Amino acid sequence: MRESGEYREPNNLEKQYDTQGRHYIEGEGEGEIPVGGKDYQYRVSFKRFGENDNRFPTNQRAIREVAPDLEMPHDHVVAEFWGWGETTAQADGDFLQIELERLRHLGYKNPKVVGINVSGRGTPEYMMAGNKEKISRISLLDETKNACDMTVALEAEGMFGKDCPISVIGHSMGYPNTAQFVAALNSGDSKRVKKLLAMMPANDKYRAVARPGFLWTVRNQVPPALEQWWNGGGSLELDEKDYHRIMLSDPTLSHRDQFERGVPDSALRFLELTLANRDSTSGVFRPDGAGNDMDITIVEGGRDHLIPRSSIDKIARTVGAKGLNNRVTRERMPDLAHFFPLRIRGVQREQIREVLGRFLSKTI
């Protein structure tokens, strides 16, 4: 029996990504994709931020937008930040379809989903020869500051609509970037971001050395990461076998197209977010911080070998600390590992559908 989501052909947005070169196709791509029997518009834009910033391999950034009508006012905007080695292209498959279908089911007429690729991931320039050394040296502070700077610039040009409620989703190492997104848009009297969804979130509190299970999971990545950090060269990348073992935890879900939508990433940031103790998000989540008075959902993958329950507990305590007015919900997807497949099958599809539905339906 064929399960829903398994055999769908790639849509035009998925074809906008060059899996051989591992980047969105050069220039601006526009078109339509079907969502529940209706055509939605998409746009992939290449923008430049920080022309004099040499911390990154490129100042070019890829932004992906999808909505029923990109030019008309929006009644809900959802921004997305994906994690280490990930691009928005890995969410351009069934996850995006489920997300858009949930928004329409909840009664939104013209919602928009914005995928933000920080540090240059998803652009042709990021993958150019000679850029590996710069990729290797991107720090956690570099990455989160870039997320904040991009948010400010995109807000100034109207990317997130006008007088429109905003939700933000962060996966894994994309979670610290969501905190900076909130900090940028909820400063002062402005409280544009109403809801945050942290999916299998990573944080930079000290935990990995004391967890043999985690170190065993990334056993093939820690030695080259340490070597690259010490020598200041190279970029860290999962091979296909390790990608599916770590991210999906099920060889039957292997999908080469999904693997090729990821990119090399920083060895330094990998080490900082797995071995260090820096705490990059708690300043946002305090009574006088930008992350107060929000609906926050934290998702745990039942088969996730990277993010343990103790780490989820720490994040929940941070965002729900005494003095904050946050409504914190814990969710568990029993059949999901650290990530989700490009083609999401039966029970996993239903679990994602239910969690997104509950998150997006909260009063805003």
27-43 per-position pLDDT tens digit: 768 999 999 899 999 99
**Model confidence at 213: pLDDT above 90:** no
Q: What is the mean pLDDT of residues 6-25?
A: 88
Dihedral of CA atoms 280, 46, 339, 33 in degrees, nearest 10, equals: 140
**Model confidence at 165: pLDDT above 80:** yes
**Model confidence at 209: pLDDT above 70:** no
Question: Of all helices (H) and strands (E), which one includes residue 268?
Answer: helix 267-275
Other CB atoms within 10 Å distance of the CB of residue 55: 16
Lowest-confidence region among 52-61, 72-81, 149-158:
52-61
Q: What is the mean pLDDT of the chain?
A: 88
Residue 35 contacts residue 100 (beta carbons within 8 Å): yes
Q: Tell me the fold of 12-361.
A: Rossmann fold (3.40.50)
Residue 254 — very low, low, confident or very high, per pLDDT cuts 50/70/90? low
Residue where the block lists tokens 């329950």: 309
Q: What is the pLDDT of residue 247?
A: 85
Q: What is the pLDDT of residue 207?
A: 53
- Give the pLDDT confidence of 83-110 residue by residue, as tens digits: 999 999 999 999 999 999 999 999 999 9
On the CB side of 131, CA atoms within 13 Å amount to 22
User: pTM for the full model?
Assistant: 0.93
Other CB atoms within 10 Å distance of the CB of residue 216: 9
Q: What is the pLDDT of residue 28?
A: 65
At 182, the amino acid letter reads V
- Give the pLDDT confidence of 334-361 residue by residue, as tens digits: 999 999 988 888 899 999 999 999 999 8
Q: What is the pLDDT of residue 211?
A: 64
Q: What is the pLDDT of residue 108?
A: 95
Percent of the chain with pLDDT over 70: 90
Q: What is the pLDDT of residue 177?
A: 96
Q: What is the mean pLDDT of residues 254-276?
A: 82
Interacting residues of 333 by C-beta distance below 8 A, sequence separation 6+: 299, 300, 301, 302, 348, 351, 352, 355
**Model confidence at 305: pLDDT above 80:** yes
**Model confidence at 127: pLDDT above 90:** yes
Q: What is the mean pLDDT of residues 143-163?
A: 94
Strands 23-24 and 327-333, bridge-based pairing: unpaired
For the chain, what are the domain ranges?
A: 12-361
Residue 317 contacts residue 328 (beta carbons within 8 Å): no
Query: Per the structure block, which two tokens stand in for 215?
Result: 């170190």
Q: What is the pLDDT of residue 195?
A: 96
Q: What is the pLDDT of residue 358?
A: 96
**Model confidence at 5: pLDDT above 50:** no
Q: What is the pLDDT of residue 222?
A: 76
Q: What is the mean pLDDT of residues 283-307?
A: 92
Q: What is the pLDDT of residue 4?
A: 41
Residue where the block lists tokens 């050394």: 133
Of 66 and 232, the one with more pLDDT: 66
